[in-house]
């Protein structure tokens, strides 16, 4: 529910802050109408909005292949996945709105470039195998990031993440299955799968964000129990999960330094090209412009649908005010039957 | 009403017969019919429900989180409302 915090100024903020900190430390959830520090609110809006934007921008690289899916089965799967990502965006926009911002404001900030989305979606999907690599690696990295967010201190965000995580596991599995089919196919198909993995591996590792010693928001986010694990911790977890999975696929990961480190009990991996990461973040990735232009165009070209729905609703409301009764709509019948059911 | 003023609706889903509707989330829609359809697409893509309610968020009256302690306190000192309050001799059955 969208409601504002109690009036600031009229209350004793120090006492409220102590109460807030105690609740967070006790692993209680903060709910929309609870008092919260302004910085906590702002930090959540920033993170949830960026997350929501990533979900809807993330629809583009994959939607690119819907019309060219190699079978009806694959096409139906891909449409369902892309539709899920739209749904994830909507859950998250709703969660952000409980903090006192509005949907229009958030979309505005995305369209004007004032709020970011995950850099991973600024890479192109060159072949059908990219759909598989995205499902396995990009959704896989997202899941590694998101599972701990299900226990985030802010209730609406945590609840949205629970729904999202449930849906993500199909995304990852369909990608893995797709890559496996290609890997076990003809020589050309195998090569296509390997090429896609080669291109998506490093950007996927970048999805966990900058190394811990350079991460601007991490410490505070951890103290507020928004974040549970550091970027490097999650990245390591992801690498450890992926290595044996790549093995089962019959594919390799494009890192000559990837070796099992007996002492640490983890896989060691080569250095990440953070210059590339910063370039893409700065707007100079292969598809930054295309993604944001397509988003703006979709929004503008959809305006007439929103206006029509608004006009219809206004007209209906007008009529019911004047005592006009709309003809019975059989599709609405089940609301009444429902009471008996 | 402009698009920006599309009201917020709270969505409640009954997952199966015999269970009550549970809050699933919220969405924006221009009217109740659209809210219902959007709720179906958004919250029941995997057969999560057999019935959906949508309620304008503005129509919900909620207790204030500020007074949560004092508001619910009257129940706290009445343990005799719970069956465990009562001591029954051992061996007494079906009670
Ligand atoms: Fe998603
Ligand atoms: Fe996904």
pLDDT, tens digit, 9 for 90 and up, residues B48-95: 999 999 999 999 998 887 766 778 888 888 999 999 999 999 999 988
- Compute φ and ψ for A205, nearest 5 degrees: -65, -30
Give the separation between CA A40 and CA A36, rounded to whole angstroms.
7
Check residue A218 and give its pLDDT.
80
> A215 falls in which pLDDT band (50, 70, 90)?
confident
> Encoding tokens for residue B6?
């599309």
Residues A302-313 pLDDT 10s: 999 999 999 999
> A333 falls in which pLDDT band (50, 70, 90)?
very low
Mean pLDDT calculated for residue range B28-44: 96
- Report whether pLDDT(A216) > 80: no
More confident residue, B66 or A83: A83
Mutate to test the interface with A, among B1, B2, B3, B68 (most CBs of A within 10 A): B3
Please list every residue in chain A whose beta carbon sits closer than 8 Å to the beta carbon of residue B27: 90, 94
Check residue A171 and give its pLDDT.
96
> Encoding tokens for residue B18?
């015999």
Please list every residue in chain A whose beta carbon sits closer than 8 Å to the beta carbon of residue B8: 1-2, 97
Closest CB to A313 among B25, B30, B45: B30
Range A186-203 burial, b when 16+ CB lie within 10 A, else e:
eeeebebbbbbbebbbbb
- Report whether pLDDT(A11) > 70: no
Q: Flag the least confident range among A255-264, B4-13, B73-82.
A: B73-82
- Whether B69 and chain A come into contact, CB under 8 Å, resolves to no
- Whether B67 and chain A come into contact, CB under 8 Å, resolves to no
- Report whether pLDDT(A300) > 70: yes
The answer to whether the Cβ–Cβ distance between B45 and A84 falls below 8 Å is yes
In terms of DSSP H, where are the helices of chain A? 13-25, 38-57, 59-63, 72-97, 103-111, 129-133, 139-146, 155-183, 187-206, 218-223, 231-249, 274-279, 288-301, 303-321, 333-340
- Report whether pLDDT(A339) > 70: no
Mean pLDDT of chain A: 91
pTM for this prediction: 0.89
Please list every residue in chain B whose beta carbon sits closer than 8 Å to the beta carbon of residue A159: 25
Query: What are the structural domains, with CATH classification, of chain B?
Result: 3-63 (3.10.20.520)
What are the residues whose beta carbons fall under 8 Å from the beta carbon of A79, sequence distance 6 or more?
A: A66
Q: Measured in whole angstroms, how far is the alpha carbon of residue B33 from the centre of its chain?
A: 21
Mean pLDDT calculated for residue range A83-105: 96
Nearest ligand to residue A160 Cα: 1
Angle at alpha carbon of residue A55, lines to A165 and A32, rounded to 5°: 70
Check residue A54 and give its pLDDT.
97
Residues A186-209 pLDDT 10s: 999 999 999 999 999 999 999 999
């Amino acid at each position: 529910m969208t409601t504002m915090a109690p009036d600031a100024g009229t209350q004793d903020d120090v006492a409220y802050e102590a109460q807030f900190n105690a609740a967070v430390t006790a692993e209680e959830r903060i709910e929309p109408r609870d008092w919260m520090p302004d910085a906590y609110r702002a930090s959540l809006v920033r993170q949830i909005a960026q997350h929501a934007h990533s979900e809807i921008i993330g629809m583009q690289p994959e939607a690119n292949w819907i019309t060219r899916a190699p079978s009806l089965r694959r096409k139906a799967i891909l449409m369902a996945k892309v539709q899920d990502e739209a749904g994830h965006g909507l859950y998250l926009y709703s969660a952000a709105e409980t903090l006192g911002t509005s949907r229009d404001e958030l979309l505005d900030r995305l369209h004007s470039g004032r709020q970011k989305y995950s850099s991973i979606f600024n890479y192109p999907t060159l072949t059908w195998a990219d759909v598989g690599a995205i499902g396995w690696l990009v959704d896989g990295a997202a899941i590694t990031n998101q599972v701990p967010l299900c226990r985030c201190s802010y209730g609406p965000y945590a609840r949205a993440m629970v729904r999202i995580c449930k849906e993500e596991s199909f995304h990852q599995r369909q990608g893995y299955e797709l890559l496996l089919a290609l890997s076990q196919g003809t020589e050309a198909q195998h090569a296509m799968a390997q090429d896609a993995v080669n291109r998506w591996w490093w950007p996927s590792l970048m999805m966990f964000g900058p190394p811990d010693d350079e991460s601007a928001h991490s410490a505070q986010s951890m103290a507020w129990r928004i974040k549970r694990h550091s970027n490097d911790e999650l990245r390591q977890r992801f690498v450890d999960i992926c290595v044996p999975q790549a093995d089962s696929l019959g594919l390799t990961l494009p890192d000559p330094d990837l070796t099992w480190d007996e002492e640490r009990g983890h896989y060691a991996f080569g250095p990440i090209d953070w210059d590339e990461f910063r370039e893409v973040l700065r707007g100079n990735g292969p598809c930054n412009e295309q993604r944001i232009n397509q988003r703006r165009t979709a929004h503008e070209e959809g305006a007439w649908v929103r206006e029509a729905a608004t006009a219809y609703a206004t007209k209906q409301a007008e009529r019911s005010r004047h005592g006009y009764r709309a003809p019975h709509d059989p599709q609405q019948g089940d609301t009444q039957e429902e009471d008996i059911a | 009403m402009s698009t920006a003023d599309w009201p917020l609706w709270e969505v409640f889903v009954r997952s199966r017969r015999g269970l009550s509707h549970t809050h699933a989330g919220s969405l924006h829609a221009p009217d109740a019919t659209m809210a219902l359809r959007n709720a179906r697409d958004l919250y029941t893509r995997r057969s999560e429900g057999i019935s959906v309610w949508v309620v304008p968020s503005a129509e919900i009256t909620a207790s204030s989180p500020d007074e949560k302690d004092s508001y619910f306190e009257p129940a706290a000192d009445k343990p005799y409302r719970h069956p465990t309050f009562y001591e029954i001799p051992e061996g007494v059955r079906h009670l």
